[in-house]
Structure 1
Amino acid sequence: MINDRLVDAGELPIAVRDFGGDQPPLLLLHDFGGNLATLTTLARALRPRHRVITLDLRGHGRSGDGPWSWDAALGDIAAVTVQLELNRPAVAGHSLGGMLATLWGQRHPETPGVVSLDGTPPPTRPEQLPGLDPERAAAELARLTEVFDTTHAGMGRTIPAEELPDLVERQQMAARDMGANEKVWIEGFRRNLAHKDGETTMRPSAATAGELRKLMNDLDLGPVYAGTPAPTLAVLSTRDLPEQEPFADLYAAHRRYLLAQAAAGAQANPRMRYLQLEDASHAMVVEQPELLASLIGDFLTDGR
C-alpha cells in the first residue's frame, strides 16, 4: 500500500511517499525543481527489490519552506529515516538529489550504499572545461549564466488562472515528447503549484532557487568521492538535453571534467565506482528508469 504522509523534521514538515513492502529500505531523492511525484516511474521499477520512500525536499512539492543548506537538507532526510524507523537505508538521487545522496554517504558509513544519478554541480569555472580555450570557456560560461539568470528570474512567479490550462497542455506535450508517463508527469507539475490567498505560484521560489544555485556552484565532489566511507556509485550522462545543445562544446568539455573527477575518486577510494550511461542525458530517470532500477539494485546488492 502506498502511503503519503507529512514528517515533522523539527524546523518544517517534509512530505513523504512510502511505497511499502518488507524489502531493504531505499530513499529516493528528486532533482532541483522536481518533487517526489517525478520519481514515481523509477520508484515503481525499484519496488521488487526495495521498500522505496520518496520525499519532497524542502521548498519543493508539499514540504515546508526553510533556509537551504546541505546540513539542513541532510537533517530533513535523517528525520525521515528516524520517524519511518528505517534501518540503515540506502540513498539514491537524481541531480540535486544525487549530490545529497553522495553527501549522505560521506557522513553515514553505515549505509549499504548511495547512488548518484548525474548528481553533479553545473560548470562555473574555465578549469572545469578541459579542452576548451580559457577565453572561449569564460565566454561560454557567461552566456550560460545569462540563461540560468533568466530562468531564475521567472521562478516562483504568480500564474494567472487563465494561463493554467495552457501550461498543463504544454506539460502534456513535453511528457509525450520525452516518452514519459503523462499522468506521472502532470502530477509532478501540479505538485509544485502553491495555492494561497486566491493566487497560484510555482515552487521552488526564487529565493530558494538562489540559495540552491550558490550551494551547487560551490560544491566540489572530488574530495567527497575520494574520501567517502560508504559504497558510492556515480552514474554519468553521455549526451545533451535539447536545451543544452546550443552549448554543446561547453557540456562536452564539462562531461570530460566530471569523468576525470569520478575516475580520480575511484582510484583513490576502493568504495567509489562510476559509469557512463550510454545514450543518456541528464533526464536519464525519464529515459531509462528500468535500466537505472537494475543498476541501483545490483549495486546495492553487490557494491559492498
Structure 2
Amino acid sequence: MKLTAREYGSGQPFLLLHGLGGDMSAWETLAPHLNGRAVAVDLRGHGQSPDGPWDWEAVLDDLDETAVHFGLDNPVVVGHSLGGILAGTWAVRHPECPAAISLDGHRSATTDPANYAGLPEEQLHADLDRLNDVFTTQEQMLTRPDRSITSVLRTAPEFLDALPVFAKVTTPFLLVLATRNLPVPPGLLPLMDAHRAGLRRDLPVVCPNVHVHEIDATHGMVVERPAEVAAVVNQFVSNRRNA
C-alpha cells in the first residue's frame, strides 16, 4: 500500500510514525529539530493514506515500501503512541535498525488489570469500565480511522501491552515516558497514576533491554515539547552511533 508522506531535512534517515487517530501533521514542529532527513507518514486508514484492514505485518510492509520509495537506508524509527508500538515491531523485524524510539507508546490505558499498581481491585475494575466508556465515545466521533481499525486495535495484544514485543528488540530501543496525565475525569486520575506505576514496576523486569527516559509532559509530548523531545531522540541516536 502506498502511504502519503512528507519529507523534512537531510542527512541520517528517520521514519516518523504518528499515533492512533492522528496523521503526519503531528510531526510538523518536531521533525525540523531532528538531526537528519525525516519522512513522516500517514498510516493506513489515517490522514490521506488509503484504507485497509489493520494487520501488523501488513502495516510493516507498508512502512518497508515507504522506506524503499524514499530511499531511506536503514532508518531510525520514531513513533508516538500507536506509532511507538510500531517502532518496536519494526525493530523486531529489522534488528539491523540503528535505533528505535517509542514516545509514550507502550500499553493501552485500558489494559489487563494486572498491569496497574496501587489500586484496590474493586476501584480498579470500576475505573476501567468508566475509561472504556470514555474511549468508546471518542471512537464513535472519529472519522478516520474507521471502526474496522479501531475495534481491532482496542483488543490487539500488541496494543493492550507492547512490553512483550519490546522485550524481543535487540537494536537500541528508547521509551520516552510521560510523567503527566492527559485531561481525564478527575475520578480517573488514580487509574492513570496506577497505570504509570505498573509500567515503572514492569519495564525493568520484562524489558531490561529498553532504555527509559521520563519527560515532564503528557502523552501529547510531540506537540507540547517538540524541541525537547527531539533533543532526547538526537542524543540517544548520537550516543548509539558513537558507542
Alignment TM-score, normalising by the size of structure 2? 0.93
Task: Choose the corresponding residue for 1:115, options 81, 91, 101.
Answer: 101
CA RMSD after TM alignment: 1.7
**Higher mean displacement: 204-213 or 104-113:** 204-213
Aligned identity (percent) is 40
| Amino acid corresponding to residue 228 of structure 2 in structure 1 | L
> Is residue 137 of structure 1 aligned with residue 78 of structure 2?
no
One-letter code of the match for 2:8?
F
Alignment gaps of 5+ in structure 2: none
1:291 equivalent to 2:228? Answer yes
User: Which position in structure 1 is the counterpart of 2:61?
Assistant: 75
- Amino acid aligned to 1:152: E
Which protein is bigger by CA-based radius of gyration? 1
- When structure 1 is superposed on structure 2, of 215-224 and 285-294 the one drifting more is 215-224
**Distance in structure 1 (CA, Å) of the matches to 2:111 and 2:173:** 25
> Which among 241, 260, 275 is matched to residue 182 of structure 2?
241
The CA distance in 2 between the partners of 1:75 and 1:232, in whole Å, is 21
- Flag structure 1 segments of 5+ consecutive residues without an equivalent: 1-8, 156-201
Q: Which residue of 2 aligns with 1:37?
A: 25
The whole-number CA distance in structure 1 between the counterparts of 2:114 and 2:190 is 14
Mapping of residues 225-236 of structure 1, within 5 Å = 225-236=166-177
Q: TM-score, normalised by structure 1?
A: 0.75
Q: State the secondary structure of the residue aligned to 2:184.
A: helix
CA contact (8 A) 1:35 1:55 kept: yes
- For 2:57 and 2:50, the matched residues in 1 are separated by 16
Verify: 1:86 aligned to 2:23, yes or no.
Answer: no
Q: CA deviation at 1:20?
A: 4.1
Q: Which secondary structure state, in structure 1, belongs to the residue aligned with residue 233 of structure 2?
A: helix
2:84 paired residue among 98, 110, 116:
98
Deviation at 1:75, TM superposition (A): 1.0
Q: Offset of 1:266 from its aligned partner? A: 4.8
1:191-236 CA distances to partner (integer Å, 9 max, x unpaired)?
A: xxxxxxxxxxx32222222122222675432333333111000011
Aligned to 1:124, what secondary structure does the other structure show?
coil
Q: What is the CA–CA distance in structure 2 between the aligned matches of 1:43 and 1:219, rounded to whole Å?
A: 28
Instruction: For 2:136 and 2:200, locate their aligned partners in 1 and report how far apart those are by CA, in whole Å.
Output: 27
